[in-house]
Amino acid sequence: MITQYTLSSEANVTYNPTDKVPVYLLRHGETDLNARGVLQGSIEEPLNAVGRQQAQAAAQTLSGLGIARIVSSPQSRARQTADIVAAVLHSSIEENALLRERDWGIYEGRPIGERDETGAGVELLSHLNSRACQAFESITADLTAPCLVVAHSGLIKALLAQLCGQAPDVVRNGEIIQLMAQRNA
């Protein structure tokens, strides 16, 4: 299943899917830390068996959509997901460091419920929002075919909030989101 989000006319980016090609966002598959409710941020953690299955299922959903370009966060869980998808789609992968997950500083490795926006080392939300838009601009500047962006929950939510004016509370592991043009634009 692919969830669709409509770009806001207020979005401060030059991408316009009415005259460019589709962009799909994919959250990486599950890791053991995800399964235990632990905040990962910059912690490197490989996909677990469920995460590999989620990546394979996403690849099957995305096959046939003409995706010619995959851009991934360099973090191992996203890159592993991208590798699995790329094998099915017969596509190469570009890494973009701007797609990395939000740095949660002292809260990394702790239960998600303990996080706080103001702790030591926590990346400011305004910086995450700016970084997410900068990544999106760099990826969509020269699109000629459908593109898949493999990233993390925090980055995807920041991007959706900036581009669409709304974001879900949760982006599930393996969830696919398609960015859509405004219907009345």
Which residue numbers are catalytic?
Answer: 28, 101
CB 150 within 8 A of CB 72: yes
Please answer whether residues 39 and 163 qualify as being in contact, where contact means their C-beta atoms are separated by less than 8 angstroms.
no
**CA–CA distance from 24 to each of 140, 156, 175 (Å)?**
11, 11, 10
